[in-house]
Structure 1
Amino acid sequence: MSDWKWDYNPDETYIAGGLPPGVVAEVERIATELAALGPDAVRVGRPFDREGGLREFDILGGRGFISFLAVPRQQCVYVCGVTWYG
């Protein structure tokens, strides 16, 4: 198990405010799994050809995606945005 954590950046209201509760639950579930990966989270999602930087990961069968940063120095995955197509 990893010592990494996850958080919203800048905050939950800004990122997840107005989203359906099921979408927020899925985002938080994925963020928890990304944090469990620890330093390997820098290679998950798009872009596929490099690691680090702002990453994207599809949610709920492609009906949206999350943008996140995995920051090894802070041992944290930051959810920076959620795009939901509905």
Structure 2
Amino acid sequence: MTWAWEYEPDEPYVTEGAPPVLIAQVEDRAAELVRAAEALYLHGETYEGISPQGGTALVANGMFVYQIVPRHERVYILQITAW
């Protein structure tokens, strides 16, 4: 398995009502989070610790909530908020 990001529970649910420019910003930042998590958790599938706390990330037109799960080698995007 390789590190990636995805929407949880799915893209239509998480992105509903968000403008396309915000979605693009969220996806760019999610890719950055994936690269950071991949460097921090080199052996993600065999990680035995507690998953890190979720976080929020600010982008130019809003914010999003995410969760990193090393054993899944995933960054899950849980919620997007526009302003």
Q: Is the TM value for this pair above 0.5?
A: yes
What fraction of aligned residue pairs are identical, expressed as a percent? 32
CA distance in 1, matches of 2:75, 2:62: 19
Q: Provide the aligned C-alpha RMSD in A.
A: 1.8
SS of aligned partner of 2:66: strand
Q: Distance in 2 between matches of 1:38 and 1:20?
A: 27
Q: Which runs of 5+ in 1 are unaligned?
A: 42-50
Q: Map of 1:1-86 to 2, 5 A cutoff?
A: 3-39=2-38, 40=40, 52-60=52-60, 63-85=61-83
Whole-Å Cα distance in 1 between the matches of residues 54 and 30 of structure 2? 14
Compute the TM-score of the two structures, normalised by the length of structure 1. Answer: 0.74
Q: Between Structure 1 and Structure 2, whose CA radius of gyration is higher?
A: 2
Q: TM-score, normalised by structure 2?
A: 0.77
The one of the two structures with greater contact order (alpha-carbon pairs below 8 A, sep at least 6) is: 2
Aligned counterparts of 2:56 and 2:66: Cα–Cα separation in 1: 6
Do the aligned residues in 1 keep the contact of 2:4 with 2:74 (CA within 8 Å)?
Answer: yes
SS in structure 1 opposite 2:26?
helix
Q: Which runs of 4+ in 1 moved over 4 A?
A: none
Report how many aligned residue pairs link the two structures. Answer: 72
- Secondary structure at 1:37's aligned position in 2? helix
Which segments of 5 or more consecutive residues in structure 2 lack a partner in the other structure? 42-50
Post-superposition offset of 1:38 = 2.1
In structure 2, C-alpha distance between the alignment counterparts of 1:59 and 1:34, rounded to whole Å: 13
